[in-house]
Amino acid sequence: SSGILAGKRGLVMGVANNRSIAWGIAKAAHDAGAELAFTFQGEALEKRVRPLAEGLGAFVAGHCDVTDEATIDAVFAAIGDKWGSLDFIVHCIAFSDKDELTGRYVDTTAGNFSKSLLISCYSFTAVAQRAEKLMTNGGSMLTLTYYGAEKWMPHYNVMGVAKAALEASVRYMAADLGEKNIRVNAISAGPIKTLAASGIGDFRYILKWNEYNAPLRRTVTIEEVGETAAFLLSPMGRGITGEILHVDAGYHVVGMKNPAAPDI
């Protein structure tokens, strides 16, 4: 391939189905010429991920539940054996108890706080530790975040706190890994109807609100997030690290409801 990711090998974590943001990124990276590896979380998702991986000629590196570090090690061992080195990783993983993605943040329990931060923030660091060892020729690491890290959003609660920590970890890891020419960035995606998003209260309302109030007067697709990801992962993005890039139809610049927007 002559695409911007030709000759690059990358691991994509977080494909649950063909609506996943990770799938949009995988498709775009594949179209740009990358060779891909996937992980899946558990047997139920394996049934969905394997056919998707096959469709892109990708390597299935195995089961990975980021709360079990042995499964992260196993996946990186498999990639080390298969490829010997790695050029990029894409981390599209987040979790919080659905019961706490509604109501008030202040009611968050210690147990769910720890679990949400472990899965939604620390896991990117845990994966970066393993990936660093395989990125002998420089590399690019990418995670997914949301505007709820920067501003209060209804129902996002502990996930907003986890995303704020994730965005800070992008900056710290960018500084730590820069001397090895490993870049670390995040895409802050606008709301998209995925499996994870279905756990968030009033999600349809949030989609409509974005559609009426974003500068582009619409929401974004996994294909749009995917193509921006391919750019960031590729040498075209080689001057960019520590960045939180918004792919949200411009919503993050808006300070007030559009007076012309219809009622929702």
- 219 binding ligand NAD? (CB under 6 A): no
Instruction: Output the DSSP codes for 42-100.
Output: HHHHHHHHHHHHHHTT-EEEEE--TTSHHHHHHHHHHHHHHHS--SEEEE------GGG
Q: How far is the CB of 257 from ligand NAD (least distance, A)?
A: 20
Q: Which residues does 65 contact at the CB level (< 8 Å), separation at least 6?
A: 41, 42, 71
* Nearest-angstrom CA–CA distance, 21 and 76: 22
Restricting to residues 10-39, name those near ligand NAD by CB under 6 A. 14-16, 20-22
- 197 binding ligand NAD? (CB under 6 A): yes
Of residues 3, 46, 50, 65, which one binds ligand NAD by CB under 6 A? 65
- 244 binding ligand NAD? (CB under 6 A): no
* CB closer to ligand NAD out of 160 and 237: 160
- 245 binding ligand NAD? (CB under 6 A): no
Judged by DSSP in three states, 38 sits in strand
In the residue annotation, 146 being an active-site residue is answered as: yes
* Nearest-angstrom CA–CA distance, 228 and 118: 26
In the residue annotation, 156 being an active-site residue is answered as: yes
- 119 binding ligand NAD? (CB under 6 A): yes
Count of residues near ligand NAD by CB under 6 A: 27
Which member of 156, 172, 205, 212 is catalytic? 156
Question: Any idea which residues carry the catalytic annotation?
Answer: 146, 156
